[in-house]
Amino acid sequence: MNATPARSFLLGLIGTDLSLSRTPPLHEAEGLAQGHPTVYRRLDVLTERLKDRTLSEMLSSALDMGFDGLNITHPFKREVVAMLDEVDPVATRLGSVNTVAIRDGRTFGYNTDVTGYARGLAEQLPDVSKRSVVQVGAGGVGNAIAFALAEAGVEELQIRDVDAGRAAELAENLNTATGTSVATGSGPDGVEDAIAAADGVVNATPLGMLSHPGTSFDTSCLTPVHWVSDVVYMPVSTQLLQEAEAAGCRTLNGTHMAVYQAVDAFEHFTGLPADADRMRETFYSLG
């Protein structure tokens, strides 16, 4: 008697400039480890075959072709919200979706950037003070980080960005979404003084990446009473984290958010519990 073939999964990532994403191998390896063949495709709108396709068309095609889920990245996280059948309350309040599960022809939106960062923060820095936090960077992933910090109980969140208007807009959107006045937004002037007076600081800029070396502020303002988080994960040990640790700070590196957003997305896509430790090992094995 033939055994029933294992359930397979077809997943994808929609966005721009996806060649360096570690998400596809994370999902493929975890699916296979659980006995479920998993194929994860990069659907990059900068490629010749997709450059004229709209997000709506790609979403419709994924439904027609039997995809089980899609990750959504820049520049489509906000646009996709209105196209979905149901959206999780967290993603609704944020107005941004990075994970779309497809079940029985219906689409369900989530934001696992938020939940992924929150899980890493709670796991690695469970007892740090969150009275006052400075977030440097208001673009891209900064939206999810700010929301996660507010949800984690930060009382005063200062959002600083080279574009003061963008920082102010994110603060206003966050306050509206949470029904509080937790956030303020402004430019980079005086950011070191603000950090010196805060409990923690989060770098939500690309500074620290291999292609964007450096730090987003002068780290001489750090002392052992601070905790420091960096969303950059290539390299894992950024200049910011190295200098923060040298100053005696507790730190949170970017791999925790990167792994946990994939863990949460895998569970939404498949309905199966993911092994976070195994997915972390896969992440590190990718170099």
Task: Check the annotation: does 141 bind a ligand.
Answer: yes
Task: Check the annotation: does 69 bind a ligand.
Answer: no
Task: Check the annotation: does 138 bind a ligand.
Answer: yes
Task: Check the annotation: does 23 bind a ligand.
Answer: yes
Helix (H) or strand (E) holding 184: strand 183-186
Ordered DSSP codes for 84-106? -SEE-HHHHHHT--SEEEEETTE
Task: Check the annotation: does 263 bind a ligand.
Answer: no
Task: Check the annotation: does 73 bind a ligand.
Answer: yes
Residue 229: C-alpha distances to residues 79, 134, 204, 244 (Å): 28, 10, 9, 9
Residue 247: C-alpha distances to residues 218, 240, 274 (Å): 12, 11, 36
Phi, psi of 184 (to 5 degrees): -130, 155
Phi, psi of 119 (to 5 degrees): -65, -40
Task: Check the annotation: does 81 bind a ligand.
Answer: no
77 is an active site residue: yes
Catalytic-role residue among 34, 58, 77, 238: 77
Task: Check the annotation: does 254 bind a ligand.
Answer: yes
Task: Check the annotation: does 228 bind a ligand.
Answer: no
Question: For 233, how many CA atoms within 13 A lie in the half-sphere containing its CB?
Answer: 20
Q: Which residues are catalytic?
A: 77
In the annotated binding site, the residues are 21-23, 73, 98, 113, 137-141, 231, 233, 254, 261
In the annotated binding site for shikimate, the residues are 21-23, 73, 98, 113, 233, 261
In the annotated binding site for NADP(+), the residues are 137-141, 231, 254
